[in-house]
Structure 1
Amino acid sequence: MAVSLAGTENAEDRNLEAEMTALGRRARAAAARLADAPTDAKNEALRAAAAALRADAELILAANRRDLATATGRTMTPAMIDRLTLDPRRIEAMAVGLEEVAALPDPVGLIDSVVSRPNGLQIEKVRVPLGVIGIIYESRPNVTADAAALCLKAGNAAILRGGSESAQSSAAILAALARGLEAAGLPADAVQRVPSQDRAAVGLMLRLDQYIDVIIPRGGKSLIERVAAEARIPVLKHLDGICHVYVDKAADLAKARAIVLNAKLRRTGVCGAAETLLVDRPVAASHLVPILADLIAAGCEIRGDAATQALDDRVKPATEEDWSTEYLAPILSVRIVDGVDAAIAHIAAYGSQHTDSIVTEDAAAAERFLARVDSAIVIHNASTQFADGGEFGMGAEIGISTGRLHARGPVGVAELTSYKYRVRGTGQIRP
């Protein structure tokens, strides 16, 4: 059954509708084959795809240069350009990511629990693939490789819809992945790209509930909101990364300076970058002054409350909007607060339930923060930039889920499975 573009008489739209329906059918057929594919075959496909990425590095870089040349005529932030840009190091990182996923345990078929009932029934809870996963992302061509690897290892087929900015890069990466699948005797249709950059294709994809089991959007707030509003399919959401670092009165100054600088400036365009710094009032002078000096010297713009401005005349006034802004740029909002409870209250009011960190040597304050901050990732004495599946030992990740259902935090291989119950009997009937 085709997905309907109700009311349209446009031949181009009807062709796109037919293409999307055919794409879904092929993905469903591939998912059926992958569901019971041997672990060795999946691992062989991933290793062969890694080798193909390395062999095609120059082709991929050339495609990326074409994407970048096109992007210069569009309105793109430095963070978006950084995400779009590939170089030999990033291609090698993609290839290594595929190999790391190949080395991970296969979650499919793992038995989570076994229950023996008094009537003799044996009930097993066993891990199974989700099926077909639709992934919509913006200007990150590396997501093409990461998403494909994770879906494949978990026995899922993937339909990918990358941003138009990265179309040529993603196509070149996908060609290498397809060679890896074919080398292992697995269907190349296990990973497919949406054939059009038309926005109508996204709308059609969000209504392919006959073929797609889960949608994972990875991108800006407008993309996430559109997917959540239009999808007929369950959505695994990744909202803004409004991440906080709270420097407590019991913080070690050297740790605090290093953690804040890294959390904000290691890479400003990633979702785990800190966007707000909260500092306990008793250490505003002793701790915040040198931290501000570090950040400003490194090229970071500071937007602070009145108390922060009083400590350094280079600090710009923060507006109410700043506290809920994901800058993805070398800009940091700073507020002085009255203790850990005030920091927790600020995070609850303005945060996005992504990643938040406390710097303190007070174990009780740390435990209070870790217990009461309702975020997917909460951290003690470390940078928020550890919000990454690779750093969690998961290999590549599709994103950080900020929701509460099915998966939360880094979405790796295990999070791309569901489960079913296998019940073994010896002739029992229910009275």
Structure 2
Amino acid sequence: MNCKTSRLLIFLILFAGSTFPTFAQKTLSSLNQTLRYSRYSRLSLKVIPIKVSETSYKLQLQVEKIEENPVFNTFSFTYSILDSYEEEILSDNTIILTSDDLKYDTDRHWVFEKTIDIPETTETSIALFTALDTRQGDEYYYSTDIKSSFVFDTPSFGAYYANYVGFDQNYLNAGESLLFQSNDGPTLHGFYYPINLEVPYPPMETKPAAVPRELEVIDEGDFLENVPKSFDKIGYYFIQSDTSASTGLVLKTTHEAFPKVKDWDEMVDMVTYISTRKEHEDLKSAEDKKKALDMYWLSLTKNADTAKELIREYFRQVEFANLLFTDFKEGWKTDKGMVYIVMGPPEEVNFYLDREVWSYGGTNESSRIRFTFARVKNILSPHYYTLNRSRAYQPVWFKNISIWRSGKMAF
């Protein structure tokens, strides 16, 4: 049996209703996308749309290989183009991808590229990329709006690593370079924002977050496509092919250690989520930050070994938050990053056009805790979310902080 036949049979079995997860009667909003944020995922999926014309789009369907030496044939890949988050996902609107469809196969990525047509009159169009791990039936999903009420427009250019694989990270370490290719060429335009954004308020704080009165922006001018472009300063850049348009690519630049912690000062900033105000103020004012932090962790657990494990777990959560949620803010400073660090990876994740919902715990629907992140239309990112805050979160939030401080948190 050849590879194509084998993969087709796997796909048909799924739709026939075997013991594997199935698309039958499923919509994008009903899919549990928790593996997207799992600390134990074998793959990471990304869809990068590039506008070719008013009706044509190139999709870069990228698979980052997290598992060591993964075998392509142990996964089944498909993609769908949907008109809404409620459209039923069927075999008729799902396309199988085989090894013959691979554009690139590198040490870190499998990359597919597909060009699709979307009529100008279509208001909403979503690309869904799926990978089925045929060994245990795990399904990985990644969806992105190509057109919707939350997307100003899709960029007509792409950012690439030196090997022309699409740039699929949420950040770039300052001093590194990318290549850009545009359908409009031969130059693109860059703006630099040297802003350091604040840590978010906790979920039960309902007053509006502080907003900077002035946002400094530096016009970096034009730069050439197909020539490595270095981004040397920490902050974020906004790249456009047309400065009069409402679309572009935001690129967060970070220190060289990111997504890990750089120094003791940054460590002090990051423990704010599980500290009292007095503890945090004392840490920030301490002359010897390392000594103060050592005493802080030990005072929480009263045990050196437990303190070491607590430090390891906490900053592992910070690292994952940075990897997963960085946009024009560091991931740990976003609302999603804050909830992820304190509450751990969500047990259920559902996407809708206007929101994303995370669910935790509970033996039934009434006892589950849900965090709803409202989608906000933002020129810098079509996937910008803010937490719907409520005082009702206070008991579970303080409970989880207490578990952290006792050194008993485990994911």
| Band the TM-score falls in, shorter-chain normalisation | under 0.3
**Under a length normalisation based on structure 2, what TM-score does the superposition of the two structures give?**
0.24
Q: Which structure has more strand as a fraction of its residues?
A: 2
Computing the radius of gyration from Cα coordinates, the structure with the larger value is 1
Q: Which structure has more helix as a fraction of its residues?
A: 1
Higher RCO structure, 1 or 2 (CA under 8 Å, sep 6+): 1
